[in-house]
Amino acid sequence: MNPEEFRNSISGKVVHTQKGYWAYVPNPLPPDIQWSLAIISALSEADRDLSRLNTLANSFPFNQALIVPFIRQEAVLSSRIEGTRASLIDLYAYEAGGQSNSESVDDSNEVLNYVRALEYGLERVKTLPVSLRLIREIHARLMENVRGGKLTPGEFRRSQNWIGPAGSTLENATYVPPPVDEMLETLDAMEKFIHASSKIPPLVRAGLLHYQFEAIHPFLDGNGRMGRLLIILLLNEWNVLSCPMLNLSVYFEARRQEYYEHLLNVSKNGAWEDWLSFFLLGISMQAISDAVRLESLLSLRADYLERLRGGRRQERLEQVLDLVFQRPILNIRQAETALGIPYMTAERCIERLTRIGILREITGKARNRVFQADEILAVIQK
């Protein structure tokens, strides 16, 4: 790491370690934020658009069902930023039949771990506030039995890591996060900032904390995914996001290089305004996009209910239909288990949904058939 690139930063300091390499230690939060018109405007728009998304999500008669696909889409895109190639269809197909169209089943396993880690965190935060302990617990689930799973999952690193192109070393890395002792100090300060009362708006606090976590880089692997997952947990705990339906990783993945550059420029140049404006714009744009998807799904459900009206087993059909919105690729056994209904009942309902064009059988098998809802998938993946 070139210390001269970080020498004049107001966001932290470079330190020369006893082992002879340079590392960067971020200052405790909060920084001295310059509340420019650009940040105030971006914050106002993000608050407005996120509030609309929350209102829309809370008005849905089946909003809990929609949490499942939104979490999975977030898992797919957050993992893709780190190099996985599994798609949302790959993930659902893998869950339905143990198969995946991705080049490696490992990719689907990694994405599924993200889903499990986020679901665990959203449930655990009801009894344990966002904290270093919770972050470790979630990281253990994120990295369980996947690539990087041997790099002390659930434990903060006890050795130095670095960020840079393949083959880079501590000496020529793009960025070297704090050495272990300084890392522990900065983590402690970060946790205090999370729990402290603050007049800083929650969306800005989330942006500050995402940068801080990535700058500290406290794990040997999984820091990017963990840092993006942390945004959702914080907004949920602070009651800013009523349902985890904000797919912010869609925005980050589409602007991956710009995302990394903004984070690095905070460390190098103290470019907080640029990072926060970028972060808040992402919340605004993604809240608008996710609201459109929610409206499209609601319209689709209303159309499907109209097609089902007047048939036998109406209540069961509607239950299976809502499950299809959660799992637009599924098998009969999944419906049986999820709804606690007899296998034959699940089979009849799925066959009815297939006859009227909501589902499509995609395996061509007589047994262990898998069904796909093309229209629902198309909306979720917009």
Helix (H) or strand (E) holding 25: strand 22-26
**Cβ-count burial 338-353 (b if 16+ within 10 Å, e if not):** ebebeeebbbbbbebb
Residue 292 structure tokens: 């459109």
pLDDT tens, residue order, the chain (382 aa) = 899 999 889 999 999 998 999 999 999 999 999 899 999 999 999 999 999 999 988 877 666 667 888 899 999 999 999 888 888 888 888 888 755 555 567 788 899 999 999 999 999 999 999 999 999 999 999 999 876 556 789 999 999 999 998 889 998 999 999 999 999 999 999 999 999 999 999 999 999 999 999 999 999 999 999 999 999 999 999 999 888 889 999 999 999 999 999 999 999 999 999 999 999 999 999 999 999 998 998 899 999 998 888 766 788 898 999 999 999 999 999 999 999 999 999 999 999 999 999 999 998 777 789 999 999 999 998 7
Name residues whose C-beta falls within 8 Å of residue 213's C-beta, 6 or more positions apart in sequence.
190, 223, 226, 227, 230
Q: Are 247 and 77 in contact, with CB atoms under 8 Å apart?
A: yes
**Domains of the chain by start residue, with CATH:** 3-292 (1.10.3290.10), 309-380 (1.10.10.10)
